[in-house]
Amino acid sequence: MITVTCFLWGHAYRPAHVNALAALVREHYRRPHRFVVVTNDRGPFAPGVAVVADDEDFARTPSPAGAGMPSCYRRLRLWRADAAETFGERIVCLDLDVLLVDDVAPLWDREDDVVLYRDPLWPHQVNGSMLMLRAGTRPDVWAAFDPMTSPALARAAGFRGSDQAWLSYKLPHAARWSGADGVYSYRRDCAQGIPADARVIVFHGRPKPWDVDVQQAA
């Protein structure tokens, strides 16, 4: 069974965003699943949303992009060798601004040990908006991360962001979702409306799903 996971920290998002994402998952993934938010926020969270305490590992590691840029290294805990003890055997991680618009079973029922999302703006790297892994796969992603040196290594290799840059550096040959799978970027792909074959819309940067009137093309 899949555990769908998201993270909530800081002030940009609220428990209401977690609850809205959980509702989208229930609507568009009809398989048995568990929904987990990793947070130290007290909610309120909707029934069916399980809370895992955020141990804040690497939470204070700054983004190599500079002050004020998001630092998401805490999400690397999903790659710990013992992640199954907390998250189960199969993990999907979603950003809180991801929009599910159709059945995601074809995306999440794949047998690959790791599937990442190809960044639509920088196709040589991955985007952290959605990923899937079999727990315990590639524990070196976690074990090899050194907050003093790893961000600079990934940036020197030409990768942008925080945890997504490290994943790009460590997992260059992992399977990737793209528009061919129905995973689209709102900023790049949706100027004329949501593509008819869309399953997931990624909102990286601005706007956010709640800022726009999202209409799917016929």
Q: Which residue has the higher pLDDT, 73 or 200?
A: 200
Count of CB atoms situated within 10 Å of the CB of 115: 21
Pick from 20, 159, 189: which is nearest to 94 by CA? 20
pLDDT for 22? 98
Q: Which residue has the higher pLDDT, 67 or 122?
A: 122
Q: How far apart are CA 171 and CA 149, in angstroms?
A: 18
* SS3 category, 214: coil
User: Residue 64 — pLDDT band, cuts 50, 70, 90?
Assistant: low
pLDDT for 61? 72
Q: For 83-131, how does the pLDDT look when each residue is reduced to its tens digit (9 = 90+)?
A: 999 999 999 999 999 999 999 999 999 999 999 998 877 878 998 999 9
Give the predicted TM-score (pTM) of the model: 0.91
**Would you state the structure tokens that stand for residue 187, as one six-digit string?**
């900023």
User: Residue 152 — pLDDT band, cuts 50, 70, 90?
Assistant: very high
pLDDT for 213? 64
**Would you state the structure tokens that stand for residue 51, as one six-digit string?**
């809370």
Q: For 157-176, how does the pLDDT look when each residue is reduced to its tens digit (9 = 90+)?
A: 999 888 999 999 999 999 99
User: Residue 132 — pLDDT band, cuts 50, 70, 90?
Assistant: very high
User: Residue 65 — pLDDT band, cuts 50, 70, 90?
Assistant: low
Contact between residue 71 and residue 150 where contact means Cβ atoms under 8 Å apart: no
pLDDT for 217? 44
pLDDT for 58? 67
Instruction: Answer yes or no: is pLDDT of 212 > 90.
Output: no
Query: What's the rounded mean pLDDT across residues 49-76?
Result: 74
Q: How far apart are CA 201 and CA 98, in angstroms?
A: 6
> What domains are there in the chain, each with its CATH number?
2-179 (3.90.550.10)
Instruction: Answer yes or no: is pLDDT of 70 > 60.
Output: no
Q: Report the mean per-residue pLDDT for the chain.
A: 90
Contact between residue 92 and residue 4 where contact means Cβ atoms under 8 Å apart: yes
